[in-house]
């Protein structure tokens, strides 16, 4: 019965997260159209960079959402907050599909677009932490990375699905009609996905790990995120997440626009090639999560960082060749490296916090890192191409982060065998408690993980 309940939680958390990722993916794949519809076209490059900036706004709102919703995750519970975040995200997405264009209402159009992106970003600030924490705390012993990797797979696959759906939708109604008004339909459908996600999550039970920790935690537990131990755990998140943020959003948020605007590939070809790369990245996550449970988080993160450092330039060079095979192969080889890195770094980022303030600590640290670095990656890559006058400039940006992250990973703790209740708290009594709980678990006593 416990196993069935845990699997139901995994499915509900993962599928509910589909709506969240779908909303961001639709905006990313629609950026070339949004640039022409929401900004004056006297300078197409400036219009595109402005659209990248609005894409970044959604990420910059995530730390504030992380602070608010992360605190609520620890105070009110994982399930109740996840029901709220998916509604906010769905509303922001649906309204984007209704906002008049610049040609109709002038500067009010991009202003309203910014407000919607702020709502999406704030909601996502609590959503990712909430769903990942829910999966982690419900996972069986020894399978935490595998379960988190599976959740990451389900949250990333919709991005590939969006690319394929948009490709066939454009074929159905025609590119001109799509650019005129058809682009609004995917945003409106995002609201329906939010409703479905809510009903999937309704009625879920809080993880036993969270309930047990809540009994022993005092009312100020979430504020322990700002204690020396909590700040150190936040630093660990900031040390493992930069490469994931930059590489993933280079693939997800920039590569499609790069193929269309810089390389000159057909929109349909670019969508399918990018969707294939994202699908490879997503499908690898459960398997690399399994490897992380076997060999450790740091081993997998180190391997992923080395892979990305070696192939980032080659990947962009192949995409820039202008051939369909180059575009597909280039993105797939980069996606393999991201897939190797993703599951291990994601599970590490939540495992480094003890259960009593995991929601608050992770949401703040994760969203600050990913919000600043991931959200600005398309903007910075576009700017680098414009300033340096070479389409290969973004490859060095990704390579630099791969090398830097490989070095930083060596200084973070290995979390594979740590108990969730105390995690990497640095006090001696916590270390002793970790040893005691591991022995109790091995002997079949106690309920701690």
| 321-338 residue pLDDT tens | 989 999 999 999 999 999
| Within a domain: 215 | no
**Residues 440, 181: Cα–Cα separation, whole Å:** 61
Mean pLDDT of 41-58: 71
Residue 180's pLDDT is 86
Q: What is the pTM of this model?
A: 0.80
- Rounded to whole angstroms, how far apart are CA atoms 265 and 398? 22
Asked whether residue 369 is assigned to any structural domain, the reply reads yes
Q: What is the pLDDT of residues 197-236, one digit of tens each?
A: 777 777 778 888 888 877 776 556 667 778 888 899 999 9
| CATH code, domain with 355 | 1.20.1250.20
pLDDT of 409 > 90? The answer is: yes
Residue 196 clears pLDDT 80, i.e. is over it:
no
Mean pLDDT computed over 149-165:
79
By the 8 A CB rule, do 402 and 108 touch? Answer: no
Residue 285 lies in a domain: yes
| C-alpha Rg value of the chain to the nearest Å | 21
Spatial separation of the C-alpha atoms in residues 346 and 153, rounded to whole Å: 12
Residue 284 in any domain: the answer is yes
Q: 445 pLDDT exceeds 60? A: no
Q: Would you state the pLDDT for residue 425? A: 65
Q: How far apart are the C-alpha atoms of 56 and 48, rounded to whole Å?
A: 12
DSSP assignments along 363-379, one per residue: HHHHHHHHHHHHHHHHH
| 233 Cβ contact list (under 8 Å, min separation 6) | 352, 353, 361, 365, 423, 424
In a domain, 1, yes or no: no
Q: Give the pLDDT confidence of 424-444 residue by residue, as tens digits.
A: 764 433 443 444 345 445 545
Q: What is the pLDDT of residue 7?
A: 65
Q: Residue 325's pLDDT is what?
A: 93
Average per-residue pLDDT in the chain? 83
CA distance 92 to 191: 8
Report the number of distinct structural domains present in the chain: 1
Query: What per-residue confidence (pLDDT) applies to 237?
Result: 95
Q: What is the per-residue pLDDT for 402? A: 97
The rounded distance, in Å, linking the Cα atoms of 156 and 160 is 7
Give the pLDDT mean for 180-195.
83
More confident residue, 383 or 9: 383
Which pLDDT band, with edges at 50, 70 and 90, does 303 fall under? Answer: very high
Give me the mean pLDDT over the 404-428 stretch.
84
Residue with tokens 């939010």: 194
Determine the pLDDT at residue 1: 41
Residues 6+ apart with CB under 8 A from 1: none
What range does the domain containing 386 cover?
7-202+222-442
Comparing 9-23, 109-123, 362-376, the range with the smallest average pLDDT is 9-23
Q: For residue 435, is it within any domain? A: yes
Per-residue pLDDT, averaged over 11-34, amounts to: 71
Q: What is the pLDDT of residue 433?
A: 42
Banded pLDDT at 191 (limits 50, 70, 90): confident
Q: Closest by alpha carbon to 247, among 291, 320, 301, 294?
A: 301
Classify residue 2: in a domain, yes or no. Answer: no
pLDDT of residue 109 exceeding 60, the answer is: yes
Q: At what angle do helices 297-320 and 324-351 cross, to 10 degrees?
A: 160
Q: Is residue 449 part of a domain?
A: no
Phi, psi for residue 91 in degrees, rounded to 5: -65, -45
Residue 253: both structure tokens together: 């948020």
Tell me the mean pLDDT in the region 115-141: 86
Model confidence pLDDT, tens digit, residues 255-300: 988 898 888 888 888 888 998 999 999 999 999 999 999 999 999 9
Taking each continuous run of H as one helix and of E as one strand, the counts in the chain are 19, 0
Higher pLDDT: 243 or 203? It is 243
Separation of alpha carbons 174 and 51, rounded Å? 23
């Amino acid at each position: 019965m416990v196993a069935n309940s845990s699997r139901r939680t995994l499915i509900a958390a993962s599928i509910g997260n589909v709506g969240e990722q779908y909303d961001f993916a639709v905006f990313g794949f629609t950026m070339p159209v949004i640039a022409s519809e929401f900004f004056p076209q006297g300078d197409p490059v400036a219009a595109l960079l402005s659209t990248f900036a609005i894409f970044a706004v959604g990420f910059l709102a995530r730390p504030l959402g992380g602070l608010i919703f992360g605190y609520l995750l620890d105070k009110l519970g994982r399930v109740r907050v996840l029901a709220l975040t998916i509604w906010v995200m769905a509303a922001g997405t649906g309204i984007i599909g209704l906002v008049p264009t610049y040609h109709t209402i002038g500067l009010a159009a991009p202003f309203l677009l910014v407000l919607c992106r702020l709502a999406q970003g704030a909601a996502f600030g609590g959503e990712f932490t909430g769903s990942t924490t829910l999966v982690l705390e419900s996972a069986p012993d020894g399978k935490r990375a595998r379960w988190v990797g599976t959740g990451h797979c389900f949250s990333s696959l919709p991005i590939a699905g969006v690319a394929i759906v948009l490709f066939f939708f454009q074929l159905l109604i025609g590119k001109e009609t799509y650019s005129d008004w058809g682009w609004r339909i995917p945003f409106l459908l995002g609201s329906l996905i939010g409703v479905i996600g809510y009903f999937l999550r309704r009625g879920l039970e809080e993880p036993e790990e969270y309930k047990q920790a809540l009994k022993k935690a005092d009312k100020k537990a979430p504020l322990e995120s700002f204690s020396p131990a909590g700040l150190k755990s936040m630093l660990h998140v900031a040390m493992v997440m930069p490469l994931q943020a930059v590489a993933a959003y280079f693939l997800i948020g920039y590569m499609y626009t790069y193929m269309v605007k810089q390389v000159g590939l057909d929109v349909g070809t670019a969508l399918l090639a990018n969707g294939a790369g994202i699908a490879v990245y997503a499908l690898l996550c459960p398997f690399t999560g399994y490897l992380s449970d076997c060999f450790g988080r740091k081993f997998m993160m180190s391997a992923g960082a080395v892979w990305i450092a070696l192939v980032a330039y080659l990947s962009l060079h192949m995409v820039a060749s202008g051939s369909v095979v180059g575009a597909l192969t280039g993105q797939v080889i980069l996606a393999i490296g991201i897939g190797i890195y993703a599951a291990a770094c994601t599970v590490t980022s939540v495992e480094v916090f003890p259960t009593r303030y995991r929601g608050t600590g992770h949401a703040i640290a994760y969203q600050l890192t990913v919000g600043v670095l991931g959200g600005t990656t398309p903007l910075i890559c576009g700017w680098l191409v414009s300033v340096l006058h070479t389409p290969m400039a973004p490859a060095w940006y990704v390579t630099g982060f791969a090398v830097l992250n490989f070095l930083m990973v060596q200084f973070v703790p290995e979390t594979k065998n740590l108990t969730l209740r105390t995690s990497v708290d640095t006090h001696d009594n916590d270390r002793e408690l970790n040893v005691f709980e591991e022995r109790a678990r091995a002997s079949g006593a106690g309920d701690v993980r």
